[in-house]
Amino acid sequence: MIGPGEYVPDITEGITRPEDLPPPRIVRRRRVYRKRPCPRCGHKALRYALDSRRLFDLGDLQAGCPVEVHVTFSRHRCRGCRRCFAADLSALALPKCLYTRRVQSLAVRLVVEDAMPYRGASWHLWRDHKVFVPYATIQNWVEAAGEKKPDRGADSLPGPGTGKFQRLHRR
């Protein structure tokens, strides 16, 4: 039985080929609605299609395998304003992102609160949570969160140019 503080070797240590990694556990989620209110005009919009999206989530630590979330969602078309839109998935993940919000928040927390370097955070996410996130992606998330940005000195402060400051007008 595994107890707290007991060392457990990583089963993926030493694997060099991606084909040898354990297969991911697939979790299915559905966000399928018959009608949804239009975000632009508020009219009820009917479903016209179904779509799917694949997201990477924190891994299953008991089985030692990654987790993929397959989300099926509905697409809607408003007859009032002729706008097409999809069911809201913002609770699971940001638009056009491959990772869930749980992965993003954990990665940003590792870098900001634990002062871990980006490469170390990427390795930590794989070793302890079985989700592979490139370190450059983590860097983009941290910079988008507004943390760890380089300080701007007094020389680079935004402000009016010399022409506006002296109220000079060009002709």
Its domain, for residue 33, covers: 22-92
pLDDT digits (tens, 9 = 90+) for 51-63: 999 999 998 877 7
Residue 70 shares a structural domain with residue 110: no
To the question of pTM greater than 0.75 for the whole model, the response is no
pLDDT digits (tens, 9 = 90+) for 106-115: 999 999 998 8
Q: What is the pLDDT of residue 151?
A: 52
Domain assignment present for residue 12? The answer is: no
Query: Of 64, 92, 120, which closes a domain?
Result: 92
In the block, which residue shows the tokens 């989700």? 131
Number of domains the chain is built from = 2
Domain assignment present for residue 132? The answer is: yes
- The answer to whether 27 and 69 have CB atoms below 8 angstroms apart is yes
Residue 64 shares a structural domain with residue 103: no
- The answer to whether 61 and 127 have CB atoms below 8 angstroms apart is no
Higher pLDDT, 143 or 19: 143
Looking at the chain, the whole-number percentage of residues with pLDDT higher than 70 is 81
CA dihedral 119, 124, 125, 128 (to 10 degrees): 170
